[in-house]
Amino acid sequence: MNHKPFVSILIPVYGAEKYLRRCLDSILNQNFQDLEVILVNDASPDASLLIMEEYAARDSRFKIIQHDRNYGRVKARNTGIDAASGTYIVFCDDDDELLPGFLQNAYSASLSGDFDIIHFGVEIATSRSLRVHGFFELYRLPHGTILQGKDIFKTYFLDNKICCRLWGNLLKTELVKHHQPSGIPHCTNEDFLRMTYLMYHAKTLFYIRKRAYRYHYGAGAFGQKTYTLEQFRQFANSMESYRELSRFFRSVSLPPVYEEALEYKRRDNCLAVLEILHRLPAGEQEQGMNLLLDTWGTEEFCKTFLVQYTKIATSIPGRIRALLCVLYDVLKYYVPSLLNHLEWRKNRMR
């Protein structure tokens, strides 16, 4: 009879030869052994496969699944989900790390109750951006909070106190396998779409403030100063995730307040995508705008939206606009980040 490991760690791999060893070493160095690592090689063009084969030869817990061509992260994750045999799943990106003690702490937490989701904190590496740090530290609940039933989804979606990142959490495998969106677009909003489904169907959640995962912002395909048109297409495709969730919300008859919150999040995402539009090379920005018009909906609506955004942005003198942006970041991101850091230092000194 085959042994069922406690956790399956799922890692889609593509173009990761520069940092894959760092990721895999962070798993080997865990003080917990009851695991399997499923490496999905999404037809990586570099030496990533050789690195995976090296680790698989050293440790039988490392398993490689080959894609015949590059399908993208969505399908690579689905391949890993189908192959997972552990009681729980941990998603890990190929450019990130598990912090020391993560899996042992996760196992210990699982013994205190039958939890569908055990949510951990995250450490941000390679970024001094107030926006990046603030985004992850704005989602805050008291350490040790246990949520059940409908309170989980309300706290996540309406109160915005639980982050939508898929990686770095302990997720019941049965929950992940049985409750996936029917259609996941190839977009940057995949985590939000998947986590919204999981949060809706989860019956129990344990919230742990301890940092367990190191996120290397900008080490992979995103978090850059400039983007290609193909990368921008993934940002534009995020609109499909909101359409999918709107259909899902109607199918389960959620109260109107959830549809209103979804619309607010959609508009916020649109503004973020418009900001990314300006990071395309100058010669590709018109193509990027046309891509948005095709993806987002009617040309009249999108043009009005873009014109209004441009009008507001250009009506304010450059220096004042820059100062307002800095003030906004300080109030929304830096202050919560600072408070969180002070609390973390206080707890560490106890």
Tens digits of per-residue pLDDT, 99-156?
Answer: 999 999 999 999 999 999 999 999 888 666 666 666 666 667 888 999 999 999 999 9
pLDDT of 300-322, one tens digit each?
A: 446 546 655 665 666 666 666 56
Is 307 buried (19+), middle (13-18) or exposed (0-12) by CB count in 10 A?
Answer: exposed
User: What does the alpha-carbon distance between residue 317 and residue 307 come to, in Å, rounded to a whole number?
Assistant: 18
Q: Which residues pair with 13 in a beta bridge?
A: 41
Higher pLDDT, residue 215 or 294: 215
**Domain ranges for the chain:** 7-216, 229-315
pLDDT band of 70, cuts 50, 70, 90: very high
Rounded CA separation 62/322 (Å): 49
**What is the pTM (predicted TM-score) of this model?**
0.84
Backbone angles phi, psi at 235, to 5 degrees: -65, -45
Region of 172 (left: φ > 0; alpha: ψ -120 to 50; beta: rest) is beta
Residue located via tokens 């970041």: 329
What are the structure tokens assigned to 58, written together? 């050293």
pLDDT digits (tens, 9 = 90+) for 239-290: 889 999 999 999 999 999 999 999 888 887 877 787 788 888 888 888 888 8
Residue 218 has pLDDT above 60, yes or no: yes
**What topology does CATH give the domain 7-216?**
Spore Coat Polysaccharide Biosynthesis Protein SpsA; Chain A (3.90.550)
The per-residue pLDDT for 292 is 80
Count of Cβ atoms closer than 10 Å to residue 200 Cβ: 19
Is the sign of the CA dihedral 279, 282, 288, 290 positive or negative?
positive
